[in-house]
Amino acid sequence: MNIEINHLTKIYRGNVQALSDLSLVIPQGMFGLVGPNGAGKTTLMRILVGILHPTSGTVQIGQYDGTREQGRAAIKRILGYVPQELGMYPDLSAREFLDYVGVLKGLKDRKPRRLRVEQLLETVALSTVAWRKVKTFSGGMKRRLGIAQALINDPQILIVDEPTAGLDPEERIRFRNLLSDLGSNRTVLLSTHIVEDIAQTCQNIAVMKSGQVLFQGTVAQMLEATREKVWLLTTPGPRPEGNFTIVSALNMGANVQYRVVGDLSPRVGAVPTEPGLEDGYVWLMHTDPRQSTEAHASSI
Ligand SMILES: Nc1ncnc2c1ncn2[C@@H]1O[C@H](COP(=O)(O)OP(=O)(O)OP(=O)(O)O)[C@@H](O)[C@H]1O
Protein backbone atom coordinates (compact mmCIF):
# COMPACT_ATOMS: atom_id res chain seq x y z
CA MET A 1 0.00 0.00 0.00
CA ASN A 2 1.43 3.39 -1.08
CA ILE A 3 1.45 6.61 0.89
CA GLU A 4 1.24 9.78 -1.22
CA ILE A 5 1.98 13.12 0.38
CA ASN A 6 1.24 16.22 -1.70
CA HIS A 7 2.31 19.79 -0.95
CA LEU A 8 2.04 19.34 2.80
CA THR A 9 2.58 22.42 4.96
CA LYS A 10 2.31 22.63 8.73
CA ILE A 11 2.60 25.89 10.59
CA TYR A 12 2.34 25.62 14.38
CA ARG A 13 1.04 28.35 16.63
CA GLY A 14 3.70 31.03 17.02
CA ASN A 15 4.33 30.87 13.26
CA VAL A 16 6.71 27.85 13.49
CA GLN A 17 6.87 26.30 10.02
CA ALA A 18 7.52 22.59 10.60
CA LEU A 19 6.66 21.36 7.08
CA SER A 20 6.98 23.40 3.95
CA ASP A 21 5.25 22.27 0.72
CA LEU A 22 6.49 18.71 1.21
CA SER A 23 5.71 16.04 -1.39
CA LEU A 24 6.75 12.40 -1.08
CA VAL A 25 5.71 8.95 -2.29
CA ILE A 26 6.29 6.04 0.08
CA PRO A 27 5.98 2.64 -1.59
CA GLN A 28 5.39 -0.76 0.03
CA GLY A 29 8.33 -2.18 2.03
CA MET A 30 10.78 -0.54 4.40
CA PHE A 31 11.13 3.20 3.90
CA GLY A 32 13.63 5.30 5.82
CA LEU A 33 13.00 8.93 6.69
CA VAL A 34 16.15 10.54 7.95
CA GLY A 35 16.91 14.07 9.05
CA PRO A 36 18.39 16.09 11.88
CA ASN A 37 16.48 17.04 15.03
CA GLY A 38 13.75 19.51 14.18
CA ALA A 39 13.58 18.52 10.49
CA GLY A 40 9.85 17.85 10.80
CA LYS A 41 9.81 14.02 10.86
CA THR A 42 7.55 13.67 13.90
CA THR A 43 5.20 16.34 12.56
CA LEU A 44 4.92 14.44 9.27
CA MET A 45 4.28 11.14 11.04
CA ARG A 46 1.64 12.61 13.34
CA ILE A 47 -0.16 14.01 10.29
CA LEU A 48 -0.03 10.60 8.56
CA VAL A 49 -1.42 8.93 11.66
CA GLY A 50 -4.24 11.49 11.81
CA ILE A 51 -3.50 13.01 15.21
CA LEU A 52 -2.38 16.33 13.74
CA HIS A 53 -4.00 18.37 10.98
CA PRO A 54 -1.87 19.94 8.25
CA THR A 55 -2.19 23.64 7.50
CA SER A 56 -2.50 22.71 3.81
CA GLY A 57 -1.77 19.83 1.45
CA THR A 58 -3.11 16.30 1.14
CA VAL A 59 -2.28 12.77 2.26
CA GLN A 60 -3.51 9.70 0.42
CA ILE A 61 -2.95 6.28 1.98
CA GLY A 62 -3.97 3.51 -0.41
CA GLN A 63 -7.44 4.53 -1.57
CA TYR A 64 -8.11 6.65 1.54
CA ASP A 65 -7.99 10.43 1.68
CA GLY A 66 -6.33 11.48 4.94
CA THR A 67 -7.70 15.00 4.68
CA ARG A 68 -11.31 13.80 5.10
CA GLU A 69 -12.83 12.61 8.35
CA GLN A 70 -14.06 9.37 6.76
CA GLY A 71 -10.66 8.67 5.22
CA ARG A 72 -8.88 9.29 8.54
CA ALA A 73 -11.15 6.82 10.33
CA ALA A 74 -10.40 4.16 7.69
CA ILE A 75 -6.66 4.90 7.86
CA LYS A 76 -6.65 4.44 11.64
CA ARG A 77 -7.92 0.90 11.14
CA ILE A 78 -5.09 -0.11 8.79
CA LEU A 79 -2.26 1.75 10.49
CA GLY A 80 -0.08 1.08 13.51
CA TYR A 81 1.99 3.81 15.15
CA VAL A 82 4.96 3.59 17.49
CA PRO A 83 5.62 7.10 18.83
CA GLN A 84 8.95 8.22 20.30
CA GLU A 85 7.54 8.14 23.80
CA LEU A 86 4.92 5.52 24.35
CA GLY A 87 2.73 5.99 27.42
CA MET A 88 2.80 2.55 29.04
CA TYR A 89 1.32 1.44 32.34
CA PRO A 90 4.42 0.66 34.42
CA ASP A 91 2.66 -1.63 36.87
CA LEU A 92 1.06 -3.83 34.23
CA SER A 93 2.93 -6.85 32.94
CA ALA A 94 3.76 -6.88 29.20
CA ARG A 95 1.00 -9.44 28.69
CA GLU A 96 -1.56 -7.36 30.61
CA PHE A 97 -0.54 -4.23 28.73
CA LEU A 98 -1.04 -5.86 25.32
CA ASP A 99 -4.33 -7.34 26.42
CA TYR A 100 -5.47 -3.88 27.50
CA VAL A 101 -4.44 -2.36 24.15
CA GLY A 102 -6.35 -5.19 22.44
CA VAL A 103 -9.50 -4.24 24.35
CA LEU A 104 -9.01 -0.57 23.38
CA LYS A 105 -8.59 -1.57 19.73
CA GLY A 106 -11.89 -3.41 19.79
CA LEU A 107 -10.79 -7.05 20.14
CA LYS A 108 -13.75 -7.88 22.35
CA ASP A 109 -13.62 -11.68 22.43
CA ARG A 110 -11.26 -12.76 25.14
CA LYS A 111 -9.98 -15.99 23.62
CA PRO A 112 -8.86 -14.69 20.20
CA ARG A 113 -7.50 -11.56 21.89
CA ARG A 114 -5.31 -13.61 24.22
CA LEU A 115 -4.17 -15.72 21.31
CA ARG A 116 -3.18 -12.56 19.43
CA VAL A 117 -1.30 -11.24 22.47
CA GLU A 118 0.71 -14.48 22.74
CA GLN A 119 1.51 -14.36 18.99
CA LEU A 120 2.76 -10.80 19.31
CA LEU A 121 4.87 -11.56 22.38
CA GLU A 122 6.46 -14.29 20.29
CA THR A 123 7.02 -11.96 17.30
CA VAL A 124 8.88 -9.40 19.40
CA ALA A 125 10.72 -12.04 21.46
CA LEU A 126 9.17 -11.11 24.81
CA SER A 127 7.31 -14.37 25.56
CA THR A 128 9.67 -15.47 28.29
CA VAL A 129 9.38 -12.15 30.15
CA ALA A 130 5.71 -11.45 29.44
CA TRP A 131 4.83 -11.76 33.14
CA ARG A 132 7.25 -9.00 34.16
CA LYS A 133 6.05 -5.49 34.94
CA VAL A 134 6.77 -3.01 32.17
CA LYS A 135 8.67 -0.77 34.59
CA THR A 136 11.35 -3.49 34.92
CA PHE A 137 12.01 -3.57 31.15
CA SER A 138 15.12 -2.19 29.44
CA GLY A 139 14.79 0.51 26.77
CA GLY A 140 15.04 -2.11 24.01
CA MET A 141 12.38 -4.32 25.56
CA LYS A 142 10.06 -1.32 25.87
CA ARG A 143 10.65 -0.47 22.21
CA ARG A 144 9.78 -4.04 21.22
CA LEU A 145 6.64 -3.90 23.35
CA GLY A 146 5.83 -0.64 21.56
CA ILE A 147 5.99 -2.48 18.24
CA ALA A 148 3.80 -5.28 19.59
CA GLN A 149 1.05 -2.85 20.66
CA ALA A 150 1.14 -1.19 17.22
CA LEU A 151 0.72 -4.58 15.53
CA ILE A 152 -2.28 -5.70 17.53
CA ASN A 153 -4.75 -5.20 14.67
CA ASP A 154 -2.30 -6.47 12.03
CA PRO A 155 -1.90 -3.09 10.27
CA GLN A 156 -0.86 -2.86 6.62
CA ILE A 157 1.15 0.23 7.47
CA LEU A 158 3.48 0.60 10.41
CA ILE A 159 4.91 3.99 11.33
CA VAL A 160 7.83 4.01 13.75
CA ASP A 161 9.35 7.21 15.14
CA GLU A 162 13.03 7.14 16.23
CA PRO A 163 13.01 3.47 17.22
CA THR A 164 16.65 2.97 18.15
CA ALA A 165 17.40 6.12 20.14
CA GLY A 166 19.11 5.11 23.37
CA LEU A 167 19.49 1.41 22.50
CA ASP A 168 22.74 -0.52 22.85
CA PRO A 169 24.22 -1.97 19.60
CA GLU A 170 22.86 -5.47 20.19
CA GLU A 171 19.31 -4.24 20.83
CA ARG A 172 19.58 -1.90 17.87
CA ILE A 173 20.45 -4.76 15.54
CA ARG A 174 17.69 -6.94 16.98
CA PHE A 175 15.20 -4.12 16.50
CA ARG A 176 16.33 -3.46 12.93
CA ASN A 177 15.91 -7.13 12.05
CA LEU A 178 12.44 -7.17 13.55
CA LEU A 179 11.41 -4.16 11.46
CA SER A 180 12.90 -5.76 8.33
CA ASP A 181 10.82 -8.89 8.88
CA LEU A 182 7.71 -6.76 9.34
CA GLY A 183 8.52 -4.81 6.15
CA SER A 184 8.42 -7.94 4.00
CA ASN A 185 4.62 -7.81 3.66
CA ARG A 186 3.61 -4.28 4.66
CA THR A 187 4.72 -0.66 4.43
CA VAL A 188 7.03 0.30 7.28
CA LEU A 189 7.94 3.96 7.60
CA LEU A 190 10.91 4.38 9.87
CA SER A 191 12.05 7.80 11.02
CA THR A 192 15.49 8.29 12.49
CA HIS A 193 18.43 10.65 12.73
CA ILE A 194 20.77 7.64 12.71
CA VAL A 195 21.81 6.98 9.12
CA GLU A 196 23.10 3.48 9.96
CA ASP A 197 19.57 2.38 10.87
CA ILE A 198 18.28 2.93 7.37
CA ALA A 199 21.46 1.91 5.53
CA GLN A 200 21.01 -1.66 6.72
CA THR A 201 17.30 -2.08 6.16
CA CYS A 202 15.71 0.36 3.71
CA GLN A 203 15.92 0.33 -0.06
CA ASN A 204 14.01 3.59 -0.38
CA ILE A 205 14.80 6.64 1.65
CA ALA A 206 14.04 10.32 2.00
CA VAL A 207 16.24 12.93 3.62
CA MET A 208 14.49 15.83 5.32
CA LYS A 209 15.75 19.16 6.54
CA SER A 210 13.87 22.27 7.68
CA GLY A 211 10.49 20.81 6.77
CA GLN A 212 11.45 19.89 3.24
CA VAL A 213 12.64 16.81 1.37
CA LEU A 214 16.22 17.26 0.15
CA PHE A 215 16.39 13.84 -1.48
CA GLN A 216 14.21 10.85 -2.19
CA GLY A 217 15.25 7.72 -3.98
CA THR A 218 17.13 4.52 -3.41
CA VAL A 219 20.19 4.08 -1.23
CA ALA A 220 22.16 3.38 -4.45
CA GLN A 221 21.03 6.70 -5.96
CA MET A 222 22.09 8.58 -2.86
CA LEU A 223 25.51 6.95 -2.96
CA GLU A 224 25.78 7.81 -6.65
CA ALA A 225 24.97 11.47 -5.92
CA THR A 226 27.87 11.51 -3.44
CA ARG A 227 30.46 9.98 -5.78
CA GLU A 228 33.62 12.09 -6.04
CA LYS A 229 32.61 14.12 -3.00
CA VAL A 230 34.36 11.98 -0.38
CA TRP A 231 38.07 12.32 0.25
CA LEU A 232 40.77 11.09 2.55
CA LEU A 233 43.02 13.92 3.61
CA THR A 234 46.18 13.08 5.53
CA THR A 235 47.90 15.87 7.43
CA PRO A 236 50.67 15.99 9.99
CA GLY A 237 49.38 19.14 11.65
CA PRO A 238 46.13 20.85 12.68
CA ARG A 239 42.67 20.06 11.36
CA PRO A 240 42.33 21.00 7.71
CA GLU A 241 40.00 23.86 6.91
CA GLY A 242 38.03 24.57 3.78
CA ASN A 243 34.65 24.23 2.13
CA PHE A 244 34.10 20.68 3.34
CA THR A 245 32.79 18.75 6.34
CA ILE A 246 35.02 16.43 8.36
CA VAL A 247 33.19 13.12 8.85
CA SER A 248 35.87 11.33 10.87
CA ALA A 249 39.49 11.56 11.94
CA LEU A 250 41.79 8.56 12.25
CA ASN A 251 44.93 9.01 14.31
CA MET A 252 47.81 7.31 12.51
CA GLY A 253 50.75 8.14 14.74
CA ALA A 254 52.57 11.11 13.27
CA ASN A 255 49.67 11.91 10.89
CA VAL A 256 45.93 12.20 11.08
CA GLN A 257 43.75 10.88 8.25
CA TYR A 258 40.57 12.92 7.84
CA ARG A 259 37.56 11.67 5.93
CA VAL A 260 35.98 14.77 4.44
CA VAL A 261 32.90 15.44 2.31
CA GLY A 262 32.83 18.39 -0.03
CA ASP A 263 33.53 19.74 -3.48
CA LEU A 264 37.31 19.40 -3.25
CA SER A 265 39.51 19.37 -6.29
CA PRO A 266 42.30 16.78 -6.07
CA ARG A 267 45.28 18.23 -4.24
CA VAL A 268 48.35 16.97 -2.48
CA GLY A 269 47.33 14.54 0.23
CA ALA A 270 43.66 14.31 -0.87
CA VAL A 271 42.60 10.94 -2.23
CA PRO A 272 39.06 10.24 -3.47
CA THR A 273 37.32 7.34 -1.74
CA GLU A 274 34.08 5.33 -2.02
CA PRO A 275 31.09 7.06 -0.41
CA GLY A 276 28.96 5.49 2.31
CA LEU A 277 25.39 6.48 3.17
CA GLU A 278 26.59 8.62 6.06
CA ASP A 279 28.78 10.55 3.62
CA GLY A 280 25.73 11.03 1.38
CA TYR A 281 23.78 12.40 4.31
CA VAL A 282 26.58 14.77 5.26
CA TRP A 283 26.86 15.92 1.64
CA LEU A 284 23.14 16.73 1.54
CA MET A 285 23.38 18.64 4.81
CA HIS A 286 26.53 20.42 3.59
CA THR A 287 25.07 21.59 0.30
CA ASP A 288 21.39 22.25 -0.03
CA PRO A 289 20.62 20.54 -3.38
CA ARG A 290 17.43 22.58 -3.83
CA GLN A 291 19.77 25.39 -4.86
CA SER A 292 21.79 23.22 -7.24
CA THR A 293 20.63 21.35 -10.32
CA GLU A 294 23.96 19.87 -11.32
CA ALA A 295 25.13 17.32 -8.77
CA HIS A 296 21.81 15.83 -7.70
CA ALA A 297 20.02 14.46 -10.70
CA SER A 298 18.09 12.01 -8.49
CA SER A 299 17.03 14.52 -5.88
CA ILE A 300 13.70 16.27 -6.09
N1 LIG B 1 3.54 21.58 19.14
C2 LIG B 1 4.44 22.37 18.59
N3 LIG B 1 4.35 23.71 18.65
C4 LIG B 1 5.26 24.52 18.07
N5 LIG B 1 6.34 24.09 17.41
C6 LIG B 1 6.51 22.74 17.30
C7 LIG B 1 5.58 21.83 17.89
N8 LIG B 1 6.01 20.56 17.61
C9 LIG B 1 7.16 20.70 16.89
N10 LIG B 1 7.45 21.99 16.70
C11 LIG B 1 8.60 22.54 15.94
O12 LIG B 1 8.47 22.08 14.61
C13 LIG B 1 9.74 21.75 14.06
C14 LIG B 1 9.77 20.28 13.62
O15 LIG B 1 9.66 19.45 14.79
P16 LIG B 1 9.54 17.87 14.70
O17 LIG B 1 9.39 17.36 16.11
O18 LIG B 1 8.48 17.50 13.73
O19 LIG B 1 10.97 17.47 14.11
P20 LIG B 1 11.74 16.07 14.15
O21 LIG B 1 12.44 15.95 12.85
O22 LIG B 1 10.79 14.99 14.51
O23 LIG B 1 12.77 16.31 15.30
P24 LIG B 1 13.20 15.32 16.49
O25 LIG B 1 14.05 14.29 15.86
O26 LIG B 1 13.96 16.23 17.42
O27 LIG B 1 11.93 14.79 17.10
C28 LIG B 1 10.76 22.08 15.15
O29 LIG B 1 11.22 23.37 14.91
C30 LIG B 1 9.95 22.03 16.41
O31 LIG B 1 10.49 22.87 17.41
Could you give the ipTM of this predicted complex?
A: 0.96
Are 205 and 254 in the same domain?
no
Of 187, 222, 257, the last residue of a domain is 222
Give the Å distances, CA to CA, from 261 to 220, 245, 270: 18, 5, 11
Gyration radius (Cα) of the chain, Å = 22
Helix, strand, or coil here: 160?
strand
Are 215 and 231 in the same domain?
no
Asked whether residue 298 is domain-assigned, the answer is no
Are 195 and 250 in the same domain?
no
51 lines ligand 1 (CB under 6 A): no
Asked whether residue 120 is domain-assigned, the answer is yes
Asked whether residue 296 is domain-assigned, the answer is no
* Ranges in the chain, pLDDT < 50: 292-300
Cα 3 to Cα 212: distance, rounded to the nearest angstrom: 17
Are 189 and 233 in the same domain?
no
Q: Which ligand 1 atom is the nearest neighbour of the CA of 84?
A: 27
Are 35 and 110 in the same domain?
yes
250 lines ligand 1 (CB under 6 A): no
Helix, strand, or coil here: 300?
coil
Count Cα atoms within 13 angstroms, Cβ side, for 85.
1
Cα 63 to Cα 77: distance, rounded to the nearest angstrom: 13
Are 169 and 281 in the same domain?
no
Of 222, 238, 266, the last residue of a domain is 222
Asked whether residue 200 is domain-assigned, the answer is yes
Whole-model pTM? 0.86
Are 194 and 261 in the same domain?
no
Are 217 and 262 in the same domain?
no
Q: Report the number of distinct structural domains present in the chain.
A: 2
Residue 288's pLDDT is what? 64
Of 174, 192, 222, the last residue of a domain is 222
Are 218 and 233 in the same domain?
no
Are 216 and 233 in the same domain?
no
CA of 39 to the centre of ligand 1 (A): 7
Best residue for ligand 1 mutational test, from 16, 19, 47 (most atoms within 8 Å of Cβ): 16
Residue 289's pLDDT is what? 52
Q: Is the dihedral angle over the CA atoms 269, 274, 277, 281 positive or is it negative? A: positive
CATH number of the domain where residue 107 is located: 3.40.50.300
CA of 193 to the centre of ligand 1 (A): 13
193 lines ligand 1 (CB under 6 A): yes
Are 54 and 201 in the same domain?
yes
Structural domain that includes position 228: 224-291
CA of 11 to the centre of ligand 1 (A): 10
Are 161 and 274 in the same domain?
no
Asked whether residue 11 is domain-assigned, the answer is yes
Residue 240's pLDDT is what? 81
